[in-house]
Amino acid sequence: MKHIFIINPAAGKANSYEAIRTALDSMEEPVDYEIYLTQAPGDATAYIRNYCASNEGRVRFYACGGDGTLNEVINGAVGFEQASVSVYPSGSGNDFVKYYGGKKHFMNLSTLVHAEDEWIDLMRVGNKYAINATHFGFDSCVAQTMMNVRRKKLIGGKNAYTTGIVVGLFKAMKNDCRITVDGTPINSEGKILLCTIANGQYVGGSFRCAPRSLDNDGLLEICMIRPVSHITFLGLIQSYTEGTHLENPKIQKYLEYCRGKQVRVEAPEGFIYSFDGELIRQNEFTVEVVPHAIRFGVPQGAKALPEAHEAQKDAAAALV
């Protein structure tokens, strides 16, 4: 199999080119590999689609960067039977691999190139795909603020996330939108604090929003939280970060957590949602699951976190 490493030189603290090339060249068994450095946003997707259209042999593309690089790679490889994808998580944000226990399992190239391919689901809006999550409401306000201030002194840089939270506390505690899951409305009042539609389990670097999610069950996990007071919000953060919010009795009256195949969102003009980290301005859209849409290389030792396994057992038992 051909191994092609797609490196985003702008991702993370340092360009990973030398580390990857040195490790591959020093392996006992030669690896048939190429390295491609992306030139601009969207370049990885175009390169992969052009490569797959011209080559029929088995190939695996490795996203060497963060979640944005992974998103570009899956959008390039999806639909090509000869292609699979995996990750060398060298970016600042690597939420999707947390589903498999974290980046440590994907950083050893000796095991990564021998990873076993598994079919996993993707989510789709129109003709674009995401592998990890679609989220909106408070989260989108934080993300948009971070992008706006990241290069500013004092409030930007390492303080950008804190700035985003502060702005969100003033501007995004009550967001207008209506959410329908497989034809059933889940917020008839038309207000939310936040909502995440997940294939993975984590968003925002540390928030385990969907601890029961499985990336191969043909279903999306929907976690919606209704508007709350500032004091209640601050009390929810730790539980939402740890992924214990589904069992926390203090949260249940604000929480809607369900599974579905299609999620319809209708909101006022100017509405923004995050699609694997890309901020998109669209007030009406439908997120649908695409079961077993792509092969994903899972290295030895990496596996879905325990709660996901328990959810899988419960789902299987319900069918008996």
Q: Which residues, 6+ apart, have CB-to-CB distance to 239 below 8 Å?
A: 245, 248, 250, 251
| pLDDT for 159 | 78
Give Cα 196 to chain centroid, integer Å: 10
Contact 42, 72 (CB under 8 A): yes
Report the C-alpha gap between 200 and 218 in whole angstroms: 12
Q: How far apart are CA 226 and CA 240, in angstroms?
A: 14
**d(Cα 52, Cα 293) in Å, to the nearest integer?**
16
Q: How far is CA 45 from the centre of its chain?
A: 17
Q: Which two tokens stand for residue 89?
A: 């998580």
How far is Cα 92 from Cα 179, in angstroms, rounded to an integer? 31
Q: Which amino acid would we find at residue 245?
A: H
d(C-alpha 273, C-alpha 270), whole Å: 10
CB 133 within 8 A of CB 289: no
Q: How many whole angstroms from its chain centre is CA 219?
A: 15
* 293, 122 contact by CB (below 8 A): yes
Burial class (CB in 10 A: 0-12, 13-18, 19+), 210: buried
Q: Are 205 and 95 in contact (CB under 8 A)?
A: yes
Strands (E) across the chain are located at: 2-7, 33-37, 59-65, 83-89, 116-125, 128-130, 133-137, 175-176, 178-181, 184-185, 191-192, 194-198, 220-225, 255-260, 262-266, 272-275, 278-281, 284-298
- All structural domains of the chain with their residue ranges: 2-115+299-303, 133-290
State the Cα–Cα distance between residues 209 and 183, nearest whole angstrom: 23
Helix (H, G, I), strand (E, B) or coil at 203: strand
Closest CA to 20 of 5, 10, 31: 5
Q: Tell me how far apart the alpha carbons of residues 194 and 139 are, in angstroms, rounded to a whole number.
A: 7
Does residue 287 contact residue 70 with C-beta atoms inside 8 Å?
no
The class that CATH gives domain 133-290 is mainly beta
3-state class (DSSP) for residue 9: coil
Predicted local confidence at residue 307, as pLDDT: 55
- Distance separating alpha carbons of residues 123 and 215, to the nearest angstrom: 10
**pLDDT at residue 319, rounded to an integer:** 36
Stretches where the chain sits below pLDDT 70 are 12-14, 306-320
Q: Which token pair is 84?
A: 């699979």
Locate 64 and state its tokens.
């060497």
Assigned CATH topology for domain 2-115+299-303 = Rossmann fold (3.40.50)
Q: pTM of this prediction? A: 0.90
Which residue is it, tokens 């009795």?
249
Place of tokens 């997120």: 287
Nearest to 65 by CA among 33, 32, 95: 95
